[in-house]
Amino acid sequence: MRWLALAVVALAAPALGCARAAPAAPFRSGQLRGANVLLVTIDTLRRDRLGAYGSAAGLTPALDQLAASGVRYSRAYSHVPMTLPAHASILTGHTPRTHGIHVNGLSRLDDRLPTLATELKRAGYRTGAFVGAFVLDARFGLSRGFDEYDDRYPQADAATFKVVDRRAAEVVKAAGDWILEPSAGSSPWFAWVHLFDPHTPYDAPPEYRAGRQPYDAEVAYTDAMLGQLLDRLRGGRALDRTVIVVTADHGESLGDHGETTHGLFAYESTLAVPLIVSGSGVGAAVVDAPVSHADILPTVVDLLGVTPPAGVDGVSAVALPAGERPIHLEALEANLTRGWAPLTGVVAGDWKYLELPLPELYNLRSDPGEATNLVDRETARRDTMRRALAQLATAPAAAALPATVGEDTAARLRSLGYSSSAAPARTQFTEDDDPKRLVALSERFNTALEAFNAGRAADALAAFLALLRERADFLTARTSAATVLIATGRPAEAVTLLRAAPAEQASAPEILARLGTALQRGGQLKDAAGAFERSRAAGNQNPELLNDLGVVYAQLGRSAEARALFEELLRRDPTSAGTWTNLGLAELSARRPEAAADAFRKAVTVDPANAEAWQGLGAASIGRDTPAAIDAWQHAERLQPRDYDLLFNLGMVLADSNRPADALPYLTRFLNEAPRAQYAHDFPRVEAAIAKVRR
């Protein structure tokens, strides 16, 4: 394995860190053979908020109890401060370099990579995952091997930059129900529970807020929900033979080094994570050997006596890893979505090195806050660490696969630091491209996103435009400003802004895709199709683009081309209710009601809460199957009770059916609630229908 070769390199080179006494290993291979596995990942949890890691705030009694009775790793690292790539490392045993996912939303996990779920499924386990946010939606590839992958969220609001999520209480309820399912049989189980709550925006339930900062309130709430899950499982005797692994995908800066959230830097605030292994048969210990997310899979399968997949980057912590072995770090979101300098690094022993136009070197033992950059003073150490990083980079890098996402992905991923936009590739960077020089711009960008989410579109737009005046190549600021203009009914201004992008970005797929959206909203359908087609030709295979192009084709009457695009999307993801809905709308516009009805039925089968699909099913059924049309529209009305066009159509069809009395509630509500100016011409028809029914 690659780590063994690296260990030899490290021993032959100057020491990477201070020597430490080798502790006894807390485990032995196969000691938990046949045990259940509960993997808990807590999003954005700083290690220093746990009492087990030194906090006196009393935020985490459940986690502290697990740590006190189990093995606590004092030097555990995430490879990347982003949710999707970090979880890909946890579940595959690979670093981002070899699994190919570096940011959220742009790519999905390669189907050829084994995961902890696929390996335990092969070993006879029943497997379930219960995730708290759309960032880990099944379409990003982490669902393979799970019998149950519970990624059910509310509908996204397109006019927002927020990630759709659900509270921990809902996640742990679903997980507990699945684990304790009476008909599950006697097979061992593997459950992954992901709790998103400490992520921004911090909005804990009121009872957890008193006397706490907003972030700490979220941590306390999450710990309490985890405690409830553990108590429920203990009461059901589900933990009698279970190993529990708890970690965070990454931390949160909270102002350290000028960063409020995470994703820009690779400091300890966001990459040093808690890691606890507890449960039946596990003794209490503290392990000071360095471990990483990539080590979790090989450690778990080693404990269970399951053969590990070949070629993983991580090593089993059952036999303690070498104290000086280097661990690869990266923070590439700003490089991949903004065109700023890439940030890679390595931590080994007491030292951390970060490769940037302005490189950094820290002694973590004497300077845990990373306040003193020693890169110019410790030149021998710098060169040794740089060689270790270069050695890690010799492994073949995996190519990212395009994410199989639906048309709502961008709206769901435009959270703080989360983007589905890709910047044009660059290879040359200067000190002005170093994230340290740009952190203030990053913070202002995040503030602008928050302003838009809070309903202050004018403030958000002004902030995005100010950023562009300072750095015209800030691609996501430009596309975000265009999004605000489109959302506020100013598509022509969005077109002008996008066409003013620097020459090197003018043909960027994301600029062209957003330009197509602006042109479409402005009614320039032919030009919109051209922009979408150029984006596709430039390499954009994002299904959001294909969906938008399909919609424009349908609006232009190019039905066959629209149908082909939607069918291509459905081959990638047959569970996309939005794509089925759009296919149905395209078939309606092509005057193919039977094909439309079939597509709409598939949409509501996948997502029974899809009101638009229910409306479409009604429209496709009217004139052919009136009872089916009425049933579909009644479903839609329950989901959208203030859609007055729907209310009018449903009431009028019922009034002419063999159930005229059923029309009265709908028609009466229409008269009482519909905006009079907008529907003035419909009121006489409704009044006449009511009078006729009552005769």
The DSSP bridge partners found for residue 38 are 191, 244
Residue 413: pLDDT over 50: no
Reading the block at residue 415, the tokens are 């959270």
**pLDDT tens digits along 74-128:** 999 999 999 999 999 999 999 999 999 999 877 889 989 999 999 999 999 999 9
Reading the block at residue 15, the tokens are 């020491």
**pLDDT tens digits along 20-73:** 444 566 888 999 999 999 999 999 999 999 999 999 999 999 999 999 999 999
Reading the block at residue 17, the tokens are 């860190």
Largest CA distance in the chain: 98
pTM, full prediction: 0.81
Q: Which of 225, 224, 202, 203 is nearest to 58 (CA)?
A: 224
Residue 247: pLDDT over 90: yes
Which pLDDT value is given to residue 157?
A: 52
Which pLDDT value is given to residue 423?
A: 55
Rg (CA), the chain: 27
Residue 628 contacts by C-beta under 8 Å, 6 or more apart in sequence? 597, 617, 618, 621
Residue 600: pLDDT over 80: yes
Residue 469 contacts by C-beta under 8 Å, 6 or more apart in sequence? none
**What is the C-alpha to C-alpha distance for residues 350 and 75, in angstroms, rounded to an integer?**
10
**What is the C-alpha to C-alpha distance for residues 489 and 600, in angstroms, rounded to an integer?**
29
Q: Taking residues 459-483, what's their average pLDDT?
A: 95
**What is the C-alpha to C-alpha distance for residues 414 and 460, in angstroms, rounded to an integer?**
14
Q: Which of 350, 305, 295, 38 is nearest to 191 (CA)?
A: 38
The DSSP bridge partners found for residue 37 are 190, 243
- The domain covering 28-322 belongs, at the CATH homologous superfamily level, to Alkaline Phosphatase, subunit A (3.40.720.10)
**What is the C-alpha to C-alpha distance for residues 595 and 610, in angstroms, rounded to an integer?**
18
Residue 183: pLDDT over 90: no
pLDDT band at 156 (very low <50, low <70, confident <90, very high): low
Which pLDDT value is given to residue 348?
A: 95
pLDDT top residue among 116 and 151: 116
Which pLDDT value is given to residue 26?
A: 81
Which pLDDT value is given to residue 451?
A: 93
**pLDDT tens digits along 633-666:** 999 999 999 999 999 999 999 999 998 999 999 9
The domains of the chain are located at 28-322
The amino acid present at 632, given as its one-letter code, is A
Whether 88 contacts 109, CB under 8 Å? yes
Q: Which residue is listed with tokens 């100057």?
A: 14
